[in-house]
Amino acid sequence: MLALDLPNARAAEAMVAATSGVVDGFKVGLRLFVAEGPRFVRALAREHFVFLDLKFHDIPNTVAEAVEAAARLGVHVVNVHAQGGEAMMRRAAEAAQGSGVRVVAVTALTSAAMPPQEAERVVLGYAEAARKAGLHGVVCSAREAAAVRRFWPDGYIITPSIRLPQDAFDDQARVATPQEAARAGVDWIVVGR
């Protein structure tokens, strides 16, 4: 999956045209969504697999309504921030039922530099809450993905911050190569932020 971390629809459409035969889907984050809005996302989702990365984090009812609205756009995956708590995640899962959209929980941002044991503890704690809440899976770095896979064998794992060995880390702290992510049992990698 390719992160469309771009300023506008024109740049995103050019990237999609150049890569749609090579990648299996696209991630739309805050920057592009705020710039172009739901109409752009709906059009993209008609033709491609779309992960809407807005990290919903609010009161349970508001998040449930946001998940319902995202499902109406035709996206395939949305995320909520696990820090919102189990009740919020449960409402998000309920809101997605029957829509075909998968809801995953962001555990710890890959830009957060943490000692490995602390990162694993934090991620597994949030993964446990997400599983109890009925979500489909989590977003975590490849460094914690193997532990999540052991804990949640059928959970859906998305890993952002995938880089090739020669690539710059940019503002990311916990990066991995595609090969490392595959060995860790990740379902989807996101190339880019």
Which position among 32, 52, 55, 135 bears the catalytic label?
55
Annotated active-site residue 27? The verdict is no
Using an 8 Å Cβ cutoff, are 182 and 163 in contact?
no
Q: Tokens 């009812």 belong to which residue?
A: 61
Taking the C-alpha atoms of residue 91 and residue 87, their distance in angstroms, rounded to an integer, is 6
Name the 3-class secondary structure at 29: coil
Kindly give, in sequence order, each residue whose CB lies less than 8 Å from that of residue 99, ignoring residues fewer than 6 positions away. 68, 71
Phi, psi of 8 (to 5 degrees): -160, 170
Strand partners, 56: 80
Catalytically active residues are: 55
